[in-house]
Every structure is written in C-alpha cells, then in structure tokens.
Chain A
Amino acid sequence: MAIKVGVGKSKEIDSFAAGSLAAKNALSQLGSEHPNLVFVFASSRFDHQQLIRGIKSIISDCPLVGCTTAGEITSLGPDKKSVVVMVIESNTLYAAVGLGKNLSKDSRRAGQEAAHDTLVKTRQGLTRHAFMMLSDGLKGNGVDIIRGVQEVLGTSFPIVGGSAADDFLFSNTFQYYDENVYQDSVCGILFSGDISIGIGARHGWYPLGKPRIVTAAEHNIIKKLDGKPAARIYEDYFGKRVADLQNEPMARMSVMYPLGMSIPEEEECIIRNAMKVDAEGSLVCAGEVPKGSEIRVMMGSKETALKAAQKAAEIALGALRKKKASLVFVFDSVSRERLFGLKSKEEIEVVQKIFGPQTPIVGFYTYGEQAPLGATINLGQTFFHNETIVVFAIGE
C-alpha cells in the first residue's frame, strides 16, 4: 500500500458543510474510508468548531491536526477563504500527534509537551525522521517552541512547520487537534517509519548596505541597533518617504525590505519581518532576534524569490535520494504571497514542476516558518524563519 494521499477542498459558505464536503472529496480521492491521519488547513473566516464537526462527521476515527491560515495551498495553486483537508493512509509512514498549550505563558514548555506527547505515542524501534509543528503565529515565542522540541528530540533533529495565520487580520489564529479547536497552542506531528524525508528552505532576499549590531533586544523586539533606536534603520534607508509611508503599516514595508540576520557558515541570512514600530522606536519582529546579532536591510524581487522557491524544492527533492515523493508540504510566508500578488500561483507551480504533476501538494501561507538550515543530510539545526518558503517532502 505504501503511502496513499487524498486532498479535498471546499469553499462552501456554511462551515459545517465546507468541512464535510472537503472531507468527502479527500476520502473519495484516497479511495478508502480509513485514513491514518487528517490534516486541515483553513481560512480563519470559518466557525472553526462547526468546520471540525463537519470533517469529523465524515472521518471520525482518526487523529486530526491543522490550523488556520492566510491562504490555502494545494496542487491547484493558492486559494483564499477555503478549507483544505488532506488524508493519509499508509503502512510505512507512522505519524504520532501531540499538543502543547499556553504558548504565551511558556513557549518552551509547550514545545516540550507537544514533542513529548508524540514521542510516547511512537512505537519503539521505528526510525524517527522529522517533527512538524503548527503553532499559533501571533502568540508566544516561536524560537522557544523550537528549543523546547529540541530538548526532547535532540538539537539537530529536523523540525519543520508553519505558524498559524488569520487571513492578514493579525488578531486570532486557531489550531485544530482532534475534535477540538485551540488558541495559543502548538500541534506536533512526529513522522517515523520506513520513509525518507527532504526539507528545503529558501527566501531569495539579499543583503544591502552596512551591517548593524543589535545592542539591545528582548525576545522578538529589537530595541537598539548600533546604540540608536532600531526603527532608525528604516528611517535611514527610506529617507523622506517614511513620512509618506507613515499611514501604512510597518509590516507592508517590511515585506519588501525585511531585516536579515547572518548565521555563520550559512548561504542565506535568516529573515526577520518587522511587524511594527513601538513608541520607543523599537522594531517588533515576527521572530526572536538575539542581542549581538548582525542585522542588515534585505532586498528582493519576484525573480529572486521565485528562484528561491525552486531551490528549496530542489534541496527537498535531492534529500530524498532518488526516492519518489509521495506528498509535499509547503509552508509559505504570507509576505511572499504579498510579494507575488496575482502571480503567487507561479511559486506553487515551480514547486510542483520539480516534484512532477502527480505529487500532491498541500500547505498554507504562514506567519512564520520553521526549518533546518542547509539540507537535512547536514543534520542542520532548525531555525525560525520569516519570508521563507519551506518545502517538506515525504518519500518512500
């Protein structure tokens, strides 16, 4: 049987109807009534409890994980205001699911809990391959969640995932775990068994101008760069336009010109999106920035971002070592969706082309991405990214 996958989608107005329709579509594509695992990626517009009830009315006896998004991705391309249900049935791939709550209270502990949950559910003797996390993208510290997971599964154990989003509203995201809907939580999935995995993460932005040193920072807030209020970096580079752009949210500008944090020995910088400027002139970022980091303003273009997507897919495929990909997850930054605009379909097409038209792709637009740097064969450590496309392929 190997790995069988079915993907269903619905845009029904009614949440219950949308859930049940997408689930039915997924099952009919799977050609079986008994999947081992259900993934749900849905727009935040739904009544989430009803949505999950709708799905459960069709697929009741099987673990379910998922989260809200800022756009849903399938092989058909990106879409909005829809629900995507993916069902997996396999006798080679084993997936254990876990949940960690209260991210805003203790993200690290939540990460540990989710990882521990999955670890105890995984049968002894199975080869563990990767841990996927779907966490609240607006609460807690993503880097701390990764630390928590690493403390349980090992520092260089591959972790991939995307932070839940809410259609660009930036108010509330939701996580789905079995028949319940959570906030401020992280869902974990530990993949094990006789499979191979490939992870590729790339953004395509390149640094410009002088590096600046973070002289004061607290979690995801950069307070001072070279001893000056951090927001000055944007004032410096955008000059008089800052006054013009005042009415526009900082996040819009930061999509095109994020900050890059260099990591020793790595090809690309890690991107940090500055979400807003607070009263003291500090930059509030979508991800942790440690004191002492070297920061530069980054610039990109659609072409370089598209090449990055291709590169990420190539790295993931390469890591499968000539094995065929059975399914591919794409965790793509909301910023990239913004950057590509009407052409966002092209990015998914580039990935699809690398894996071939028959390989099912599912994923979503995220508020943060998690993936190791460099190919997994390097046993690279996982980082928290922004503005990045993460391609996670499972093959056999």
Chain B
Amino acid sequence: MKINIWLILVIGAAVLSVVVIVDNMVAKLMGGFILLVLLAYLAEVSRDEKEQIDKMQRALDKLRNAYSELDEQAKIIIRTDVELNRTQEELDKKVSGLYTLHELGKLISSTLDVNKLFAQITEPLILKLGFEKTMIFLKDNPQLPPQCKAAIGFDGAHIEQIKQANITSEFLKNVFEVGSSVLVKNADTANPDQKEWLNLFGVSAFVIVPLVIKETVQGYIFVGNTSTYNYISEGDIDSLFILSNQLAIALDNAQLYAALKKSHDQLEVRVQERTKELAQANKELVKLNKMKSDFVSAVSHELRTPLTSIKGYAAILSAGRLGEVTPVQAEKLNKISIHSDELVKLVNDLLDIARIESGKIGMSIKHSSLTEIIKSIADLFYPQTEETHIHLNMEIPDDPLMAWMDPSQISRVFINLIGNAMKFTPSDGNITIRVKPDLAYINVEISDSGIGISQDDIPRLFDEFYRVENAINAEKKGTGLGLSLVKKIVQAHKGTIWATSEVGKGTSFHFTLSINQIEDSQISVE
C-alpha cells in the first residue's frame, strides 16, 4: 500500500511539473483532471487501509479479551486446586492419623504397666500423626503439679530445661479447669504466655489437649512442630482428642490394675505374715513338746531311783532279814512289790517314749530277719496261749523275710500288739500274725477275734494315756502308753501303723517295715 502512495505522489509530482513546464490551458486542464483522479484514488486507498487496521484492532482486542478470560480461568483453576489440595491434605492427614491412632491404641491398650504404656508412644508414630515433638504431662497426685511422663523429639538437656522451667500459665489453668484444648498456630497470633511456650519448647506451633481420667483432668498432651512447613490445624485437635481418650482409658486401666495388684500384694504379705506367725507358733509347740519330753524323762529318772530302793527294801523286808514277817505284812509287802513293778514299767515306757521323741534312743538299724523275730515271739507267748486256749496263727511266707530294723525294738512292737490282743481275746479265740511283702515295704498284720474297738475310739488309740473304756480295761490295769510307744517305734523305722476294728468281731493292727535300707540320720519322729 505504501508503494502505491509513493507511486501516486511521483505521478502527481510529474503531472505538476509537466503543467508548470508546458503552461498551456489544455494541458493545465488535463493536468488538473489527472491530479483530481489521483487524489480521489489516494483517498479511496487510505480508506481501505483504515478499515483493515480497524479490523485487525478488533481481532487483537478479541484475542486480548480471550487471553484475559483464560487468565481469569487460570485463577479459578488455581483457587479450586488450592481448595482441593487443602482438602486432600487434611484428608490424607486424617486417614493416616486415624490409622496411626488405631495402631497406637492397640499398642497402649495391650499394656497395664504405666511406664511401659508411655514407652509405646514412639517417634515414628508421632511423626506419622504429623507432629515432630510430643510431651505428656500427668499428675501423680491431684495436689501436685503434673510431671513429664514422656518426651519425644526433645534431647535430654532440653527435657531437663523444660522440667526445670516449672511451667504455669493462664491458658494451662483453663485446660485443667474446663478441659479445653489450646491451639497456637504461629508466633504472630500467640499471646505473650503462648510465645513463652513456643520459645521454651522450641516450636513454631503447638496444641495442648487435656487428659481426662475418671472425669477429671489429670494431665495433658503437648504436641508441636518446629518447621513452619508442618502447620497444625483445628483438624489435628480431633485426632489428638482421640489419642488423649485412648491414653486416658489405658491409664485408667493401668491405674486400676495397679490398685488391684497393690491390694493383692498386701494380701499376699498378710498371708505370708500369718504363715510366719503360724510357723513360729508351731515351733513354740514343738519346743514345748520337747520340754515336756525332757521333763518326763527327767522326772522318770528321778522316780526310778527311789522306786528301785522301795522295791529293794520291800524285798529285804519280805525276805525276813529284818525280822519276822507276819502273813498280813507279807501280803502287804507283796502288794508293794507288785505296784512298784507296775510303776517301774510305767516309768520305763514314759522314758522310752520321751527318748524316742527326743531322738535320744539309740536305734541300731540293721538288715535283720523278720521271720526269726516272729518265731521267737511265738515261743515267748507259747505258755500264755496254752493257758488261755487262744490260738496264735501265723501266715508268713516260707522264704525268710528280711527288713531294715532294730530287732529288739520291733520285738517290743510285736510283744505289745500281741499282748494287747491276748488281753481282749476270749478263750478259744484266734490271734493271727499275717506278713505280706510288698515292693518297698513288708506289711505286718496282727488281728484278733476279740471284743473289738468302736470307730470313735480308733483315731485316738495311739494317743498317750488314752484308754478305751470297756469292761476288760476297767478290770485289767494298763498305763495307756503301750500303743503310743509302738507308734513311735514304727515311725522311727519310717513305717506307718494303723488299726481297723469291728465291735464284737475283732481288731487288726497293721504296720509296715522298710525292705530298703534306712539311713540312721532318717530316724526321727514327727
């Protein structure tokens, strides 16, 4: 277009020069006409150009508008995206928080030890909840300020510094009185009290939630972040309340358990104390029993000496060495002798029991033949059985039986038991000695067909001085020490003795003797 304008101007200039040079009327007219045509063309051309420029301007405006609109749309997209991201972030945090809380809940509810419980709250778990630092404070005593029970993300010196700082503040009072939480998002919005906390704990934001146990605030959880990148929001308070609830339940359980355990322990101590007391009483009793045995032993010794003298003098008197003895005197002297003998026997039995009990009796345990003992006993009782027409039967194995025993003491057992049987068995009655060897023991049974013993008396048969009340006992004298002595001897051989009986049918005494060797040291009587 510009070329055209130049062309027109050149042509115009040429025409004008021709007009000036030629200076002729026709030429002037012609020149004027051509100039007019040229000017008209020029006007037309410039009008076209303006239209085109306008058109382009409009297109440019349209484009500019579209661009602005696009930019506005970009703004909307960004704002929507901001919203979306914030929501997503909150959601992610919440989901991971809940997952972590679930994990933590399982861990802390599985322990009943308060200290172990706090140890379950570890740094990785707290980091997963979205926090860098945590401190848990709990009152040991309602009157005292809360103590730091757990600290995560702090170094030792810093923990000490916080403990020393003895923190108290208005907002903490609210936590304890109302059970409210505290959120400090950053230093700009914090009050001076809260700023002090930010500095002390070295964080840029923090939350405090109360620990409510049994409807009272007993402590609080502090969590904070150092980096301003890790912001803390209202949504975090919800998660922390869940954590504080879990912790409170676990703490309550642990406290209950501790109380239960304490009372259980106290009971245990009391049981132990009582057991100790009983053991002490038992010891006293044993001591008293020994004193009794010692006393009996001493007294018996003291009695035996004068008794021997009495018997001796009675014998001298009845022998008439000190002068004539009238038949009446002789009869009385005989009675003195008989009663002295009974007294001596009583004293001897007492002495034996006391000796066995105190372990003073010298048992000479050796591997001896039971068959031999039984045979000699049978010989011993032969005259008596002949006289009373009582049959003494023996059911013993043919092979000689050997057992570990003191033959003289075991002979005493047989003599006592057979003697008793003879006493309570009527003429033509039977006494049977039955011997059955077992794996470790020989069972000996001495049964009679006597009057029998009532069931009520059986448990007390072996007590010292116990005498069954019956017609025979009323007539025949006895010390009431025989069975007691027998029991002590059997026990001294590590054997057991017991009786079975049926009134009117007879009585059986059973005792055991050891086949295996008994050490002398084992010989004692309970």
Chain A interface residues toward B at CB < 8 A: 13, 80-81, 167-170, 208-210, 236-239, 241, 247-249, 251-253, 256-257, 297, 299, 338, 341-342
Q: Would B227 and A247 count as touching, CB distance under 8 A?
A: no
Interface centre among B89, B92, B189, B228 (most CB of A within 10 A): B228
Contacts of A167 in B (CB 8 A): 226-227
With beta carbons under 8 angstroms apart, the residue of A168, A210, A247, A342 that contacts B230 is: A168
For the complex of A and B, 3 pairs with smallest distance between CB atoms:
A168-B227, A209-B74, A208-B74
Q: Would A168 and B75 count as touching, CB distance under 8 A?
A: no
For B144-186 the 0/1 string (1 means CB < 8 A from A) is 0000000000010000000000000000000000000000011
User: How many Å lie between the Cα of A327 and that of B155 in the bound state?
Assistant: 35
Interface of B is mostly: helix
User: How many Å lie between the Cα of A54 and that of B387 in the bound state?
Assistant: 109
Q: Would A239 and B229 count as touching, CB distance under 8 A?
A: no
Contacts of A299 in B (CB 8 A): 77-78, 81
Q: In angstroms, how far is the closest chain A Cβ from the Cβ of B157?
A: 11
Contacts of B196 in A (CB 8 A): none
Is B71 an interface residue when CB atoms closer than 8 A count as contact? yes
Q: Would B78 and A257 count as touching, CB distance under 8 A?
A: yes
Given contacts A168-B229, A169-B227, contact A297 B74 (CB under 8 A): yes
Q: For this complex, into which size category does the number of interface residues on chain B fall?
A: 20 to 34
Given contacts A80-B127, A208-B77, A299-B77, contact A256 B85 (CB under 8 A): yes
With beta carbons under 8 angstroms apart, the residue of A209, A253, A342 that contacts B96 is: A342
**Chain A, Cβ-Cβ closest to B123:** A81
Q: Would A251 and B96 count as touching, CB distance under 8 A?
A: no
Q: Would A238 and B227 count as touching, CB distance under 8 A?
A: no
User: How many Å lie between the Cα of A338 and that of B89 in the bound state?
Assistant: 10
**Chain B, Cβ-Cβ closest to A302:** B88
Contacts of A80 in B (CB 8 A): 127
With beta carbons under 8 angstroms apart, the residue of A238, A247, A252 that contacts B229 is: A252
With beta carbons under 8 angstroms apart, the residue of B79, B89, B226 that contacts A238 is: B79
Contacts of A209 in B (CB 8 A): 70-71, 74-75, 78
**Chain A, Cβ-Cβ closest to B83:** A241
Q: Would B82 and A247 count as touching, CB distance under 8 A?
A: no
Total cross-chain contacts (CB, 8 A): 68
Given contacts A251-B229, A338-B229, contact A239 B75 (CB under 8 A): yes
Contacts of A241 in B (CB 8 A): 79, 82
For B50-90 the 0/1 string (1 means CB < 8 A from A) is 00000000000000000110110011011101100100010
Which B residues from 178 to 237 make CB contacts under 8 A with A?
185-186, 188-189, 226-231
Contacts of A168 in B (CB 8 A): 226-230
User: How many Å lie between the Cα of A207 and that of B65 in the bound state?
Assistant: 19
The 15 sampled A-B contact pairs (Cβ below 8 Å) are A13-B155, A168-B226, A170-B228, A208-B77, A209-B74, A238-B79, A247-B185, A247-B188, A251-B229, A253-B82, A256-B82, A256-B85, A299-B78, A299-B81, A342-B92
Interface of A is mostly: mixed
Q: Would A210 and B67 count as touching, CB distance under 8 A?
A: yes
Contacts of B92 in A (CB 8 A): 341-342
Given contacts A168-B229, A297-B74, contact A341 B89 (CB under 8 A): yes
Contacts of B96 in A (CB 8 A): 342
User: How many Å lie between the Cα of A13 and that of B189 in the bound state?
Assistant: 34
**Chain B, Cβ-Cβ closest to A166:** B227
**Chain B, Cβ-Cβ closest to A13:** B155
User: How many Å lie between the Cα of A9 and that of B77 in the bound state?
Assistant: 43
With beta carbons under 8 angstroms apart, the residue of A239, A252, A297 that contacts B231 is: A252
Contacts of B231 in A (CB 8 A): 248, 252
Contacts of A239 in B (CB 8 A): 75, 79
With beta carbons under 8 angstroms apart, the residue of B68, B74, B189 that contacts A237 is: B74
Q: In angstroms, how far is the closest chain B Cβ from the Cβ of A236?
A: 7
Q: In angstroms, how far is the closest chain B Cβ from the Cβ of A298?
A: 10
Q: In angstroms, how far is the closest chain B Cβ from the Cβ of A388?
A: 18
Contacts of A251 in B (CB 8 A): 228-229
User: How many Å lie between the Cα of A263 and that of B20 in the bound state?
Assistant: 63
Contacts of A248 in B (CB 8 A): 231
**Chain B, Cβ-Cβ closest to A246:** B188
List 17 additional A-B contacts (Cβ < 8 Å) besides A239-B79, A256-B85, A257-B78.
Answer: A81-B123, A167-B226, A168-B227, A170-B227, A208-B78, A210-B74, A238-B78, A238-B82, A241-B79, A247-B189, A248-B231, A249-B229, A251-B229, A252-B228, A252-B231, A299-B81, A341-B89
**Chain B, Cβ-Cβ closest to A80:** B127
Given contacts A247-B188, A342-B92, contact A237 B75 (CB under 8 A): yes
User: How many Å lie between the Cα of A112 and that of B68 in the bound state?
Assistant: 46
Q: In angstroms, how far is the closest chain A Cβ from the Cβ of B399?
A: 79
User: How many Å lie between the Cα of A241 and that of B68 in the bound state?
Assistant: 21
User: How many Å lie between the Cα of A238 and that of B5 in the bound state?
Assistant: 53
Contacts of B127 in A (CB 8 A): 80
User: How many Å lie between the Cα of A81 and that of B188 in the bound state?
Assistant: 28
Interface centre among B67, B74, B89, B127 (most CB of A within 10 A): B74
User: How many Å lie between the Cα of A150 and that of B205 in the bound state?
Assistant: 43
Q: In angstroms, how far is the closest chain B Cβ from the Cβ of A107?
A: 26
